[in-house]
Amino acid sequence: MRNPDATTNDLMEALPGPDFPTGGVVMGKSGIRRAYETGRGSIIVRAKVDIEEQKNGKQRIIATELPYMVNKAKLIERIADLVRDKRIEGITAINDESDKDGMRVVIDVKRDASAEVILNNLYKLTLMQTSFSFNMLAIVDGAPKVLSLKEILQYYLEYQVEVITRRTKFDLRKAQARAHILEGLLVALDNIDAVIKIIRSSSTGDIAKNELINNFELDDKQAQAILDMRLVRLTGLERGKITDEHNKLLANIKDYKDILNSRDRINEIIYNELLEIQKKFGDKRRTELLVGEITSIEDEDLIEEENVVITLTHNGYIKRLPTDEFKAQNRGGRGVQGMGVNKDDFIEHLLSTATHDRLLFFTNAGKVYSMKAYEVPEYGRAAKGIPIVNLLNLGQNEKIQTVISISSKHNDQDKYLFFTTKQGTVKRTPVSDFLNIRKNGLKAIHLHDGDEVIGVSIVDNGDNMIIGTHLGYAVSFKS
């Protein structure tokens, strides 16, 4: 109203987003902006939670607010079902500690479980995360129309102008009618003796009314008001009250006319009435708005990050094992079986990595395939694993030559991959070139006929490289 050229940013400063009665957290503002600008959009709302560290080392997830229209009892029942069906693991207890001071649902987490991973599972599998859609549809000139926020506000203000105009016209007509009656009463009071004489000498009310109209230039309503006037109003005190009321009405009539002739006056009334509404009903915001955007919860968010061992045999069997399957042993220890293999098979590749790390599989044909470590099926120590051809689209006669783990936490993405081929070709390529690989693989190095990759290493810029031959020769150079 005071800034007709307000932009979406201006509007979002005053109306940053929806405020739900049950609180919660709105994730990101892009959906709000889209709805404000187009009339359609959606937002993601999450429960408000805290992860509490206990003295015994365990964690607790504490939910104090839920998304709008989420039933607490049904939510707790849903979580219990997921725990019973083992779709969510790591939860030991769910307690409703809500009281008169507010809502509080406490979820106890196992000592060795990750509260963050459990929380991501709760967001994905329960209504602790939900979405709300905007559809700002209104009837405009008798037809439905989707409006932006600015259009809604403009139509609302125009409607308020219409309301105040109609209201003021009604008040003006009412004030003018009352002032007209009072003017007749004042005439009667100025000529009280003649009025009383006419009334007493008239045989009927109609005759008295006509006499008053003819003698004092009154109309029918004024004359009737005089006839209806009680005698007590003929006193001097009552005359003063009538005069004061008449003067006040004249001032109001002048003000009403000024309002009807001034859009600025109407806008000021709208503004002041909105301030009164704000003063009467405004309260502290309940729903929190976070700047960070989330699109969806990925599989990786649902898997706890832990250290694992990946093994790949000569015949192509691969599996994943937790590192706690292997224990450090003193000198003379007998060791433990790390993998069950056939007589003609043996472990060819073994690497220690983490479930969230990316694995790169380089083949003799110069191609590279990729998967996350958690995508490798987990097996026990005695199991031989699964054929890798079930996980990667390897070509005929294509064999894995090297497996490399890429960790974002250790700046591996800023390093290089050093390729060596059977015919002596070497190549250095940034690791960052291999972060987005299609399911059917990527050509990592061009090979001449008869050549093949024999090894790939991860190196830093300037590392010393030594290549040896089967004849015992070696060459050294900087990477």
Give just the sign of the alpha carbon dihedral 319, 324, 330, 334: negative
Alpha carbon distance 208, 195 (integer Å): 9
Q: How confident is residue 55, by pLDDT bands cut at 50, 70 and 90?
A: confident
- Averaged over 125-148, what is the pLDDT? 94
- Say yes or no to pLDDT of 339 above 60: no
- Averaged over 91-102, what is the pLDDT? 94
- Say yes or no to pLDDT of 331 above 60: no
The fraction of the chain above a pLDDT of 90, given in percent, is 56
Report which of 242, 274, 204, 290 is spatially closest to residue 30, judged by C-alpha positions: 290
Q: How confident is residue 327, by pLDDT bands cut at 50, 70 and 90?
A: low
- Averaged over 301-317, what is the pLDDT? 86
Residue 216, SS3 per DSSP = helix
- Averaged over 468-479, what is the pLDDT? 82
Confidence (pLDDT) at 179:
96
The CATH number fitting domain 151-261, selected from 1.10.268.10, 1.10.10.10, 3.40.50.460, 3.20.20.70: 1.10.268.10
399 class by beta-carbon count within 10 Å (0-12 exposed, 13-18 middle, 19+ buried): middle
Residue 319, SS3 per DSSP = strand
Helix residue ranges per DSSP H, 85-235? 115-125, 149-190, 192-201, 205-216, 220-228
Helix and strand element counts for the chain (H, E)? 10, 23
CB distance 425 to 344 below 8 Å: no
CATH 3.30.1360.40 is held by the domain 8-147: yes
CATH numeric code, 305-478? 2.120.10.90
Confidence (pLDDT) at 126:
96
Which of 126 and 469 is assigned the larger pLDDT? Answer: 126
Report which of 165, 166, 164, 172 is spatially closest to residue 251, judged by C-alpha positions: 172
User: pTM of the prediction?
Assistant: 0.65
Confidence (pLDDT) at 234:
63
Q: In the chain, what are the domain boundaries?
A: 8-147, 151-261, 305-478
Mean model confidence pLDDT for the chain? 88
Return the biggest CA–CA distance within the chain.
Answer: 148
Alpha carbon distance 23, 48 (integer Å): 8
Confidence (pLDDT) at 408:
66
pLDDT in tens, 210-221: 999 999 999 999
Q: Which two tokens stand for residue 295?
A: 């699109």
- CB within 8 A of 243, min separation 6: which ones? 186
User: Can you tell me which residue has the tokens 């590749």?
Assistant: 349
Report which of 289, 253, 452 is spatially closest to residue 366, judged by C-alpha positions: 452
Report which of 206, 199, 301, 191 is spatially closest to residue 239, judged by C-alpha positions: 191
Alpha carbon distance 400, 316 (integer Å): 8
Report which of 360, 387, 389, 388 is spatially closest to residue 373, judged by C-alpha positions: 360
Confidence (pLDDT) at 65:
96
- Averaged over 294-323, what is the pLDDT? 82
DSSP 43-101: EEEE-EEEEEEPTTS-EEEEEEE--TT--HHHHHHHHHHHHHTTSS-SEEEEEE--BTT
Confidence (pLDDT) at 184:
92
Helices 205-216 and 220-228, packing angle to 10 deg: 120
Confidence (pLDDT) at 267:
93
- Averaged over 448-471, what is the pLDDT? 88
Rounded alpha-carbon distances, angstroms, from residue 402 to 328, 362, 370, 436, 467: 26, 5, 12, 18, 16
Q: How confident is residue 475, by pLDDT bands cut at 50, 70 and 90?
A: confident
Q: How confident is residue 232, by pLDDT bands cut at 50, 70 and 90?
A: low
Rounded alpha-carbon distances, angstroms, from residue 29 to 22, 34, 298: 19, 9, 20
Beta strands 307-313; 358-363: pairing state: unpaired
